């Protein structure tokens, strides 16, 4: 096969074998600016200085080189590598004429033997040695002449292309079959991307349109079927040889690239070692040896990484002195902090063991602090502070904590109570708050913003709400040192450290309406007062002609208003807003026992119990759903019929009576927007 369809480095018949090798740039040379004919004949302007251009560089320095005897010159050139000869041919016309002459072919072949092993494959028949050298060793794109970015090589097409030029000068391979058939099409020279580049996915192939067009023209110019078959066989035979040579070139290129990367990595490692020796000279050698993690190595400092990409002179090392000292000081501080955290972790584990043994002696649904909260109390904190940095808690320390746990629990509850009073005051806005009574008022509910649905909780149950002391997915290690330690090692935090427990004015305003409907004073009525009256409310918009009227207790009414899908959205229409209606006592007296019966039915319903594991055994504090604990009582405690006092709702579980559908429903004309 001739050069035309295979090479983008073409020659013409009247040129020598080597004259078609590209010069130093493939960009077109700009022409000189044309002179104005009218001014071309004018006399040059006379000035006080000579009107001559200054020569750049040492012009003529290679003149004597080409005047040397050829045997001496070729002896010198024979010690070079092919890319050196190619670059020499760009320096002067005389050297180009010498090196691009056919008589220099043996010299080029000799320089290929000077390359480090493994040597590249032999020069193919469709290229001469200078062309082959240009293809093997240069990095510039054959289309735009740039050598920046990723350069892709199509060895079988003898060309290089940057990613930008792929779409411009090559054609993306599709699934269509070429006129010359799929067998030859598989041998069409192409560039196949080995990873994603911009909009191009991994595996995208770009073919050489010039070769493709030449094959199509040659194939379609043949009329005879037998002649086409002969042409295909000959073309495939020649192209198979080229493909085999291209694969060998690609393998050689990968080996060379790995070798260069290894050499570059060794240079970088040597420079990093030079930086480490400089750190030792600064007096930080002992601390440097204690750095175990790669993330704590000084080489990861951006300024050091950038400096390692070039030669490290004394001046460069001097500029790194202060950043290295700052880094080592920080590394030392982090190491000591890690040691202290390890000791603190052991102390807290010992404290947790003492606390857990004490918790097991408490009755079910007791209120008690976490280990983190205990550590924050002054009595325990003083014990921790009085220990030396490397000292663990002694048995005497633990015994003193064990004896004070009951009093510490009271102290902790009082501290959280004060926090809750402050939170509650925000829900009451401008109304005065009595710290002694506000937590017991019927109008004081606390909401958890972390729970999937709005949870409205009351004091003292809110003290044991799990979300108040556990971390969420957004939690970070920021904050005071104690908080960072708890987050990092125990996935705990101090009570309401994230501010998820709130008291909303909207919740209070709704409960005020309920209290007034019950005939009590919202300013003084407590939750106990409302429980004693036990008013029954109805949500008229939730009336159903097929299920009945939606009746509920006062606490259930609060949950129904703010946690149900129908009413919790602030964008609901007027007809969907929950406006509670108080049932008269004649109806309420009928609903109450049925509501309790409904609750008992649901506790024994398997489907209802699937996601409700908030019940607790009062005898052994085992938790689970009602059916599991019922079986537990029969098997473990040998009690066949446990009472309501044996299985109770957990302190942090939803324990309000469920909504009860009272029959008969309201007539449709009494309920605006009834959809049943």
* DSSP per position, 91-121: T-HHHHHHHTSGGGHHHHHHHHTTSPSSPPP
* Predicted pLDDT of residue 405: 94
Mean pLDDT of 311-336: 88
For residue 10, is pLDDT > 70?
no
The shares of helix, strand and coil residues in the chain, as percent rounded to the nearest 5, are: 50, 10, 40
Strands (E), 515-588: 537-544, 548-552, 580-582
* Predicted pLDDT of residue 94: 86
Q: Which of these ranges, 42-46, 167-171, 445-449, 582-586, has the smallest mean pLDDT?
A: 42-46
Instruction: Return the SS3 of 271.
Output: helix
* Predicted pLDDT of residue 147: 85
* Predicted pLDDT of residue 530: 96
Q: Which of these ranges, 14-23, 90-99, 351-360, 550-559, has the smallest mean pLDDT?
A: 14-23
Higher-scoring residue by pLDDT: 174, 416? 416
CA-CA distances (angstroms) from residue 350 to 146, 207, 347, 375? Answer: 67, 70, 5, 11
Mean pLDDT of 72-83: 90
Q: Which of these ranges, 20-29, 247-256, 388-397, 585-594, has the smallest mean pLDDT?
A: 20-29
Instruction: Return the SS3 of 334.
Output: helix
* Predicted pLDDT of residue 19: 46
* Predicted pLDDT of residue 124: 92
Mean pLDDT of 585-603: 91
224-269 pLDDT tens trace: 999 999 999 999 999 999 999 999 999 999 999 999 899 888 988 8
* Predicted pLDDT of residue 347: 82
CA-CA distances (angstroms) from residue 21 to 132, 200, 393, 512, 539? Answer: 9, 32, 82, 93, 91
For residue 572, is pLDDT > 90?
no
User: Token pair for residue 109?
Assistant: 């072949």
d(CA 115, CA 295): 40
Q: pLDDT confidence of 622, banded at 50, 70, 90?
A: very high
d(CA 287, CA 298): 11
* Predicted pLDDT of residue 482: 64
100-140 pLDDT tens trace: 988 899 999 999 999 988 899 999 998 999 999 999 999 89
% of the chain with per-residue pLDDT over 70: 83
Handedness of CA 123, 129, 130, 133 (dihedral sign): positive
Higher-scoring residue by pLDDT: 63, 588? 588
Q: pLDDT confidence of 474, banded at 50, 70, 90?
A: low
For residue 343, is pLDDT > 90?
no
Q: pLDDT confidence of 11, banded at 50, 70, 90?
A: very low
* Predicted pLDDT of residue 491: 73
For residue 366, is pLDDT > 70?
yes
DSSP class of residue 243? H
Mean pLDDT of 324-349: 83
For residue 378, is pLDDT > 50?
yes
Mean pLDDT of 485-496: 76
d(CA 384, CA 135): 73
Question: What angle do the packed helices 395-427 and 378-386 form, to 10 degrees?
Answer: 140
d(CA 223, CA 421): 99
* Predicted pLDDT of residue 472: 62
Q: Please, are residues 371 and 492 in contact by the beta-carbon 8 Å criterion?
A: yes
Q: Mean pLDDT for the chain?
A: 83
* Predicted pLDDT of residue 483: 64
Q: Please, are residues 599 and 593 in contact by the beta-carbon 8 Å criterion?
A: no
Q: pLDDT confidence of 302, banded at 50, 70, 90?
A: confident
* Predicted pLDDT of residue 387: 75
Mean pLDDT of 592-620: 83
Q: Which of these ranges, 292-306, 433-447, 521-535, has the smallest mean pLDDT?
A: 292-306
Q: Which of these ranges, 197-201, 207-211, 400-404, 428-432, has the smallest mean pLDDT?
A: 197-201
Q: pLDDT confidence of 423, banded at 50, 70, 90?
A: very high
140-197 pLDDT tens trace: 999 998 888 889 999 999 999 998 898 889 988 888 888 998 899 899 998 888 888 7
Q: pLDDT confidence of 489, banded at 50, 70, 90?
A: low
Q: pLDDT confidence of 484, banded at 50, 70, 90?
A: low
Q: pLDDT confidence of 488, banded at 50, 70, 90?
A: low
For residue 25, is pLDDT > 80?
no
* Predicted pLDDT of residue 26: 43
Q: What phi, psi does 649 have (nearest 5°)?
A: -65, 140
Of 54, 80, 76, 81, the residue nearest 66 (C-alpha): 76
* Predicted pLDDT of residue 611: 56
Higher-scoring residue by pLDDT: 51, 653? 653
* Predicted pLDDT of residue 367: 95
Q: pLDDT confidence of 558, banded at 50, 70, 90?
A: very high
User: Which residues have a Cβ under 8 Å from the Cβ of 522 and sit 6 or more positions away?
Assistant: 441, 442, 443, 511, 512, 515, 516
* DSSP per position, 633-674: HHHHS--SS--TTTEEE-TTS--SPPPEEESSPPPGGGSTT-
Instruction: Return the SS3 of 492.
Output: strand
86-107 pLDDT tens trace: 999 998 888 898 899 888 999 9
* Predicted pLDDT of residue 574: 39
Residue 374 burial by Cβ neighbours in a 10 Å radius (0-12, 13-18, 19+): buried
Q: Which of these ranges, 103-117, 275-289, 472-486, has the smallest mean pLDDT?
A: 472-486
The single residue listed with the structure tokens 């709400």 is 465
Mean pLDDT of 643-658: 88
Higher-scoring residue by pLDDT: 250, 344? 250
For residue 47, is pLDDT > 80?
no
For residue 632, is pLDDT > 80?
yes
Higher-scoring residue by pLDDT: 644, 217? 217
* Predicted pLDDT of residue 291: 84
% of the chain with per-residue pLDDT over 90: 42
């Amino acid at each position: 096969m001739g050069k035309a369809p295979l090479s983008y480095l073409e020659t013409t018949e009247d040129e020598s074998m080597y004259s078609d090798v590209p010069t130093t740039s493939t960009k077109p040379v700009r022409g000189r600016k044309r002179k104005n004919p009218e001014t071309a004949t004018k006399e040059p302007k006379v000035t006080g200085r000579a009107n001559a251009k200054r020569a750049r560089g040492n012009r003529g320095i290679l003149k004597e080189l080409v005047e040397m005897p050829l045997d001496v010159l070729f002896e010198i050139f024979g010690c070079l590598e092919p890319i050196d000869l190619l670059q020499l041919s760009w320096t002067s016309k005389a050297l180009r004429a010498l090196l691009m002459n056919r008589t220099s072919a043996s010299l080029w072949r000799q320089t290929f033997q000077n390359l480090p092993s493994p040597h590249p494959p032999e020069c193919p028949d469709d290229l001469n040695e200078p062309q082959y050298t240009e293809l093997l060793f240069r990095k510039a794109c054959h289309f735009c002449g740039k050598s920046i970015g990723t350069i892709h090589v199509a060895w079988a097409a003898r060309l290089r292309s940057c990613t930008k030029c792929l779409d411009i000068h090559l054609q993306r391979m599709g699934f269509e079959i070429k006129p010359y058939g799929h067998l030859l099409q598989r041998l069409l020279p192409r560039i196949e991307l080995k990873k994603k580049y911009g909009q191009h996915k991994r595996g995208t192939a770009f073919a050489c349109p010039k070769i493709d067009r030449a094959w199509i023209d040659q194939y379609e110019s043949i009329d005879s079927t037998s002649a086409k078959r002969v042409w295909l066989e000959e073309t495939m035979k020649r192209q198979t040889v080229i493909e085999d040579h291209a694969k060998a070139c690609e393998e050689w290129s990968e080996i060379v690239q790995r070798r260069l990367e290894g050499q570059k990595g060794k240079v970088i490692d040597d420079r990093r070692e030079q930086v480490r020796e400089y750190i030792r000279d600064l007096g930080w050698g002992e601390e440097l040896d204690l750095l175990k993690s790669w993330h704590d190595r000084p080489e990861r400092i951006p300024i050091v990484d950038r400096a390692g990409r070039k030669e490290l002179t004394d001046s460069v090392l001097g500029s790194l002195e202060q950043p290295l000292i700052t880094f080592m000081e920080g590394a030392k501080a982090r190491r000591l902090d890690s040691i202290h955290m390890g000791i603190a972790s052991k102390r807290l584990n010992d404290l947790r063991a003492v606390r857990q043994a004490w918790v097991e002696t408490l009755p079910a649904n007791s209120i008690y602090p976490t280990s983190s909260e205990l550590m924050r109390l002054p009595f325990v904190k003083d014990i921790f502070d009085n220990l030396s940095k490397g000292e663990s808690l002694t048995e005497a320390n633990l015994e003193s904590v064990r004896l004070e746990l009951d009093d510490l629990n009271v102290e902790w509850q009082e501290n959280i109570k004060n926090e809750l009073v402050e939170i509650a005051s925000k829900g009451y806005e401008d109304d005065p708050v009595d710290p002694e009574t506000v937590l017991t008022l019927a109008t004081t509910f606390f909401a958890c913003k972390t729970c999937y649905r709005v949870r409205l909780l009351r004091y003292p149950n809110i003290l044991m709400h799990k979300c108040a002391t556990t971390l969420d997915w957004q939690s970070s290690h920021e904050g005071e040192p104690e908080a960072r330690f708890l987050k990092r090692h125990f996935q705990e935090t101090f009570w309401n450290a994230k501010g998820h427990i709130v008291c909303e004015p909207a919740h209070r305003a709704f409960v005020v309406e309920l209290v007034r409907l019950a005939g009590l004073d919202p300013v003084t009525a407590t939750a106990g007062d409302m429980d004693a009256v036990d008013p029954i409310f109805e949500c008229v918009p939730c009336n159903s002609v097929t299920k009945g009227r939606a009746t509920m207790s006062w606490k259930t009414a609060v949950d129904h208003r703010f946690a149900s899908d129908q009413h919790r959205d602030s964008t609901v229409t007027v007809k969907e807003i929950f406006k509670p209606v108080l049932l008269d006592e004649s109806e309420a007296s009928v609903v109450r026992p049925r509501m309790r019966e409904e609750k008992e039915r649901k506790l024994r319903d398997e489907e209802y119990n699937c996601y409700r594991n908030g019940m607790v055994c009062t005898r052994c504090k085992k938790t689970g759903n009602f059916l599991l604990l019922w079986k537990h009582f029969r098997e473990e405690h040998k009690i066949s019929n446990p009472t309501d006092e044996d299985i109770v709702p957990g302190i942090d579980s939803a324990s309000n009576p469920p909504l009860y559908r009272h029959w008969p429903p309201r007539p449709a004309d009494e309920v605006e927007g009834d959809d049943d």
